[in-house]
């Protein structure tokens, strides 16, 4: 299939008749909104643009929206470059089964309704992921990530960005950060949960379903710990503290480590209980 190319220098709408199986969008400042649909084709709306034009290409099922000087490789080092001011507001509707790549520098991003693989790279700017069913890979420098109702495996790496997972039903969450905080609200899932979180100075809070099913190991070198589960033990000496034990049959895994941050394990109430029963019953040590 021959390549088709458009140069978008002003607000414009484009409809792509050829099927789209993959999307790659990279912008500087502004906002990106990607939504999955049940259609085979894609639509693009650029509602605002300042600076150099966006180059839009479609080839072999891949739709790309970016600048000529903004490659995916080495994306996270792009902020160091001296370039004229640019700003773009981009909205895309693509087939829900498409693979999606989003790169943002100083821009906010929202990705929703995608069943294919989603990969995110961000320098600054916050990202929201809603209702994603495929594997998610996210890497940021200082941008925060919020994932809501994400059922695929989630991998997150950041220097100072925070991670928030709401209504998390994915089987695997692995996150690493230097100073970012991590807050996870985990729904009950028929598959074993695999949660592994590591941060140097960030705080970690995890709310598990009740009853929960996991082997737990949570450690902090100098932070406080809070535990809402009677089946877990809080121990340690000097400044270091840890929470260990088994919840339910122990088929899942939960491992959380922070050097100077605090760790809190909270309990989700059963559906019929009052919402205030979710408050931790353990003491902060």
What is the share, in percent, of the chain residues with pLDDT greater than 90? Answer: 73
pLDDT at 79: 57
239, 277 contact by CB (below 8 A): no
Per residue in 139-184, pLDDT (tens digit) is 999 999 999 999 999 999 999 999 999 988 777 999 999 999 999 9
128 phi and psi, to 5 degrees? -120, 130
Residue linked to tokens 């121990």 = 235
Domain ranges of the chain: 144-285
C-alpha span between 88 and 17 (Å, rounded): 24
Per residue in 190-243, pLDDT (tens digit) is 778 899 999 999 999 999 988 889 999 999 999 999 999 999 999 987 789 999
Q: Region 247-270: what's the mean pLDDT?
A: 93
Exposed / middle / buried, residue 187 (Cβ in 10 Å: 0-12, 13-18, 19+): middle
Q: Tokens in use for 128?
A: 């929201």
pLDDT band at 111 (very low <50, low <70, confident <90, very high): very high
Q: DSSP letter string over 184-229?
A: EEEPP-SSPPEEEEEESS--EEEEE-SS--EEEEEEESSS-EEE--
65, 37 contact by CB (below 8 A): no
């Amino acid at each position: 299939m021959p390549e088709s190319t458009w140069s978008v220098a002003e607000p414009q709408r484009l409809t792509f008749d050829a099927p789209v199986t993959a999307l790659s969008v990279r912008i500087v400042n502004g906002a990106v909104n990607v939504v999955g649909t049940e259609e085979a084709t894609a639509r693009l709306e650029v509602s605002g643009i300042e600076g150099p034009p966006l180059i839009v290409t479609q080839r072999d099922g891949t739709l790309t929206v970016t600048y000529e000087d903004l490659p995916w490789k080495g994306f996270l080092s792009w902020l160091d470059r001296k370039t004229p001011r640019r700003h773009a507001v981009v909205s895309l509707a693509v087939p829900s089964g498409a693979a999606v790549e989003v790169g943002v520098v100083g821009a906010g991003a929202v990705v929703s309704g995608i069943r294919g693989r989603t990969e995110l790279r961000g320098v600054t700017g916050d990202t929201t992921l809603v209702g994603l069913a495929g594997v998610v890979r996210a890497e940021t420098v200082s941008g925060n990530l919020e994932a809501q109702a994400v059922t695929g495996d989630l991998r997150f790496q950041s220097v100072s960005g925070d991670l928030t997972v709401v209504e998390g039903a994915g089987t695997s969450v692995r996150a690493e950060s230097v100073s970012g905080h991590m807050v996870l609200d985990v729904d009950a899932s028929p598959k074993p949960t695999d949660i592994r979180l590591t941060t140097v100075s960030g705080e970690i809070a995890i709310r598990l379903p009740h009853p929960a099913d996991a082997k737990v190991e949570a450690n902090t070198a100098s932070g406080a710990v809070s535990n809402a589960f009677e089946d877990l033990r809080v121990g340690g000496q000097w400044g270091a503290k840890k929470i260990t034990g088994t919840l339910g049959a122990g088929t899942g895994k939960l491992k959380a480590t922070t050097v100077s941050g605090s760790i809190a394990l909270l309990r989700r109430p059963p559906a019929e209980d009052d919402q205030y029963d979710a408050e931790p019953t353990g003491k902060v040590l």
